[in-house]
Chain A
Amino acid sequence: MKGLIKKDLLVIKSNIKHLLLLVLIFCFLSIDGNNMFYYIPTFISTMLFITTFSYDEINKWDSYAITLPKGRKNVVKAKYITSILIICWAILLTYIGGIIFGELSNSLNISLLNNNIYSCLFGALLIISLSFPLIFKYGVERGRIFLIVIIFGFIFLISLISKYITIPEYLKNIDNQYGMYIISIIILLILFISYLISKKIYQKKEF
């Protein structure tokens, strides 16, 4: 499995120039101090990771990977682990960047930074949880379209609900310690279920 993880990291490394360029452009765009800055590295890294699926698909890597020892078992596991590694790396980078940026501009607000980092992490984990099973099932191109449909459907649903239902007070204060634990557990649960579904899809898949 270590080999499969290294494979995705090496694919990303071959693409790293594009990533750095994109990050630079976005950092420049958000230099006036809005929160955008915190989200860019993580989401670009997540999207970049999803491109590894495209490379796999173009070169029919999956068929080849299955012929390797423990191939079918490990492909899915390696994708989840690598993507989480990438997300953690991007978050760490953002955190350090946020602190340095805050210190330099004398506007460091740790709790605001923490909040941004958390929502960043949760958002990225949700994206992979939703997209991976779809990609494993339908391939990158169709999977992406389904993902967009699901995300917009989700936003539409939320906005519909929030129109007709008043959010209870305790949910509004969710960013207190207690609420954070609940959200973390829910996100991890979603991630785990997503992994199980992907694994099942992949076990049955024929190429």
Chain B
Amino acid sequence: MNNAIEIKDLIKKYDDKFTLKVPKLTITKGTIVGLIGENGAGKTTLIKCLLGIINKYEGQIKIFSKEEKEEYLAKEDIGVVLDNMFFPDILKPKDISIIMHDIYKTWDKNLFYNYLQKFNISPQTQIKKLSTGTKKKLEIATALSHKPKLLILDEPTSGLDPVVRREILDLFLEYMQNPENTILLSTHITTDLEHIADYIIFINKGNIILNATRDEILDNYGILKCGEQEFNTIAKEDIISYQKNRYDYQILVKDKKNMQKKYKNFIIDNITLEDLMVLKIKGANNERIN
């Protein structure tokens, strides 16, 4: 099988306010998939369902073709970094190695200590005495040291400075040297994904509203900028969503090349994932114009 993750008809209801719905989602082996969306969009809920932290849901989740009942077989192959969920912080990195050695058959103590050395983490320091960035590096080192085939990371770079973030992204790219390996990571720092992700999944209010390759998205979408009078000359069906700024309108358009031909007098800028996210979530849409 070529799929690391397969989801079918997943529905997780919290209350009347929030429901996560994933009719179909497959993640192919050997890819880096970025999960984006605003806070509370359902990214963490999806990840918790995948990992069995949430286990009451409708639908089917398969990881490495293994279903829920034999989940522990798949879990040997999954490395996990969660947001603020880790070992009791009274423990030390060397304790983690002692514990994990008995939990994962494939735990590699030398590899773990190599990471510690690389990140300049003393095995004897209590976790609570580490800085946010160092702690995150320790979590990632822990996730990598049993040589997982799939890394699932929830906000691995949030709260970190650009230098540490880049270090961590490089680590992910190094991990992807093995073509069998797969990464699923959620983030709201979208620039990180522009560097490394192959696919982007965009979740909004519990629904996947976009699932495409990064290049498809960045090549295809564009931002058309114009003034108020010009705005009215643009065909409504061409406007996916728009935002009115102080001096101009920013319009999200699809099929950038054709749009440029159609609206020769306008500038259509390349889009960043952040623009896309903001315009899709915050921008007014077509229906409101009508």
Contact = CB atoms under 8 A, between A and B. Distances in A.
A73 B55 CA distance: 13
Interface residues of B, number: 30
Interface residues of A, number: 30
A14 B90 contact: yes
Binding site of A, secondary structure by majority: helix, strand, loop or mixed?
A: helix
Interface string B73-110: 00110101010111111110001001111111000000
Given A3-B102, A206-B54, A206-B55, A60 B95 contact: no
A63 B86 CA distance: 8
A174 B256 CA distance: 88
A63 B91 contact: no
A70 B53 CA distance: 12
Contacts of B72: 69-71, 73
B56 interface: yes
A10 B85 contact: no
A5 B164 CA distance: 34
A207 B103 contact: no
Interface string A36-71: 000000000000000010011011110110111111
A10 B75 contact: no
A72 interface: yes
A61 B86 contact: yes
A6 interface: yes
Contacts, number: 93
B99 A60 contact: no
A11 interface: yes
B24 interface: no
Nearest to B126: A14
Given A10-B95, A67-B52, A3 B90 contact: no
Interface string B45-87: 0001001111110000000000000001001101010101111
Contact of B53 (A56, A59, A66): A66
Given A55-B88, A64-B85, A6 B53 contact: no
Interface in B5-32: none
A67 B87 contact: no
A52 B84 CA distance: 18
A67 to B, nearest CB: 4
Contacts of A10: 91, 95, 98-99
A58 B78 CA distance: 24
Contacts of A204: 55-56
Given A2-B102, A69-B103, A206-B55, A60 B84 contact: yes
B88 A58 contact: yes
A1 B103 CA distance: 7
B80 A11 contact: no
A2 B103 CA distance: 7
A142 interface: no
Nearest to B83: A60
A197 interface: no
Contact of B102 (A6, A56, A207): A6
A204 B54 CA distance: 9
Interface string B99-129: 1111110000000000000000000001000
Nearest to B127: A59
A15 interface: yes
Given A66-B51, A67-B52, A68-B75, A59 B99 contact: no
A67 B88 contact: no
Contacts of A68: 75, 103-104
A64 B88 contact: no
Interface of A: 1-4, 6-7, 10-11, 14-15, 52, 55-56, 58-61, 63-64, 66-73, 204, 206-207
13 contacts: A3-B102, A4-B103, A7-B88, A10-B91, A59-B86, A60-B82, A64-B82, A67-B78, A67-B82, A69-B72, A69-B75, A70-B72, A71-B75
8 pairs of A and B residues whose beta carbons are closest in the complex: A3-B102, A55-B88, A3-B103, A60-B85, A2-B102, A63-B85, A67-B80, A69-B75
Interface of B: 48, 51-56, 72, 75-76, 78, 80, 82, 84-91, 95, 98-104, 126
